Amino acid sequence: MSKIRSVRAWEILDSRGNPTVRAEAALSDGSVAVASVPSGASTGTHEALELRDGGKRYGGLGVLKAVANVNGPIARAVKGMEASNLRALDAKMIKLDGTANKSKLGANAILAVSLSVARAASVSAGLPLYKFLRKAYGLRLTAYKLPIPMMNVLNGGAHAGWTVDFQEFMIVPMQKTESERVRCGAEVFHALGKLLKAKGFDTGKGDEGGYAPTLGGNEIAMKMIVAAIGKAGYTPWGEVAIALDPASSEFYDTKTKRYILKADKKTLTAGEMIGLYEKWMQKYPLISVEDGLAEDDWDNWVLMTRQLGSRLQLVGDDFFVTNVARLNRGIERGAANAILIKLNQIGSLTETMDAIALARSADYKVIISHRSGETADTTIADLAVAVNAEYVKTGSLSRSERVEKYNRLMEIEREVK
């Protein structure tokens, strides 16, 4: 039993060079750990509040207010609490904040403490984080199942200056082990790079480390990826599938209720978007579509799930924002069949665990995800293993802040084998 002796935070930079919060928790037995909070670009309207300073510093993106909230009120409130009781810790911070979206203290402040204490408590317990989390939240799981990666090899939308409209084109390697899946992903990634180069496309990279060529159409990306899978010596469908995150709230026009695809010079209704996914499912090894419709387009989400849900994984990201209230509504209405889990959308580890538990109880698939602005923190890899998530989504096979999560997963695989 170890108590929280101190928590403190400071400002660091994320992978886009924007400020974010890093916190350190120190326990009475000398255990110390740090954790860092990521940050999104295509954020959902219903996410918990990321507290930013405004003003001149860092173009308004400074996080000194969030840092001060950790060092002041949060530090005072959590000092002396039992570190391994993560549920009590998060409840205390949520109460201290007192708002529905953590707008008083900031989700970035609360999450930094939530994660740093969890990490310190795992050190104190002498357990790797994935084992500790399973124990701390009383998860009744026996074996460890490594998540299948969804690797974002082609970036578009808000992550790549709108070279194509769809934000993420991901490959999903289906090999038996994590290390084989990572190898396959890397080989396909490099094959794609060579192919793009050979066709005269730009091979610069987007925010999540995938290529960001100006292709002149969204479907060309699908064709290039299928070609790259073959070029790397793998079979599309059997060995490597494709997942998409159009992040469609970003190109949805709420006034006309239309989806504007600039790269295709087309404007589609929700029904036509659903039709597009259905067509692509037949033509390409497409198994999963995230935020295929906009975050508040509820009726059409229900329609899409009725039409495609038995054949296609439909993932709610901006749609659910890791929020049990929104997920509950989705379950009741029959919208989506999978949830993207992002710790900072809701702002604490405990609420994230609750969203995962609810998803499980309704047979929704679980995908643990990074943000487009990341740090070297690899907590999500451990979280994915702790809960036996079906999938993990953590970017491309380049850029350390992405690759370190895959490296951590391979390390865990060696431990649990």
Active site annotation includes 168 = no
Q: Near ligand 2PG by CB under 6 A, which window of 11-19, 90-98, 370-378, 381-389?
A: 370-378
Residues 6+ apart with CB under 8 A from 68: none
Of 102, 131, 205, 342, catalytic = 342
Q: Which of ligand 2PG, Mg ion, none is residue 369 near (CB under 5 to 8 Å by kind)?
A: ligand 2PG
* 18 touches ligand 2PG (CB under 6 A): no
- Binder among 20, 27, 40, 90 for ligand 2PG (CB under 6 A): 40
Of 47, 168, 208, 290, catalytic = 208
- Give the position of tokens 């969204």: 218
Active site annotation includes 197 = no
Minimum separation from the CB atom of position 42 to ligand 2PG (A): 4
C-alpha 215/C-alpha 225 separation (Å) is 12
* 43 touches ligand 2PG (CB under 6 A): yes
Binding mask 49-88 for ligand 2PG (x = CB under 6 A): ----------------------------------------
Minimum separation from the CB atom of position 8 to ligand 2PG (A): 26
CB 90 within 8 A of CB 350: yes
C-alpha 394/C-alpha 380 separation (Å) is 9
- Binder among 239, 245, 297, 354 for ligand 2PG (CB under 6 A): 245
* 205 touches ligand 2PG (CB under 6 A): no
Q: How many CA atoms lie within 13 A of 94 on its CB side?
A: 16
Q: Which residue is nearest to ligand 2PG (CB)?
A: 40
* 372 touches ligand 2PG (CB under 6 A): yes
Minimum separation from the CB atom of position 151 to ligand 2PG (A): 11
Q: Near ligand 2PG by CB under 6 A, which window of 19-27, 36-44, 175-183, 294-302?
A: 36-44
Largest CA-CA distance found in the chain, in angstroms, rounded: 62
- Binder among 14, 178, 245, 401 for Mg ion (CB under 5 A): 245
Residue with Cβ nearer Mg ion (187 or 317): 317
Q: Near ligand 2PG by CB under 6 A, which window of 54-62, 126-134, 252-260, 363-371?
A: 363-371
Residue with Cβ nearer ligand 2PG (150 or 191): 150
- Binder among 317, 354, 377, 413 for Mg ion (CB under 5 A): 317
- Binder among 12, 13, 32, 41 for ligand 2PG (CB under 6 A): 41
Residue 361: CB atoms within 10 A of its CB come to 9
Q: Which of Mg ion, ligand 2PG, none is residue 40 near (CB under 5 to 8 Å by kind)?
A: ligand 2PG
The gap between the terminal CA atoms of the chain, to the nearest Å, is: 29
Residue 280: CB atoms within 10 A of its CB come to 18
Residues 6+ apart with CB under 8 A from 279: none
Which stretches of the chain bind Mg ion, using CB under 5 A?
245, 247, 290, 317
Question: Annotated active-site positions, please?
Answer: 208, 342
Which stretches of the chain bind ligand 2PG, using CB under 6 A?
40-43, 167-168, 208, 245, 247, 317, 340, 369-372
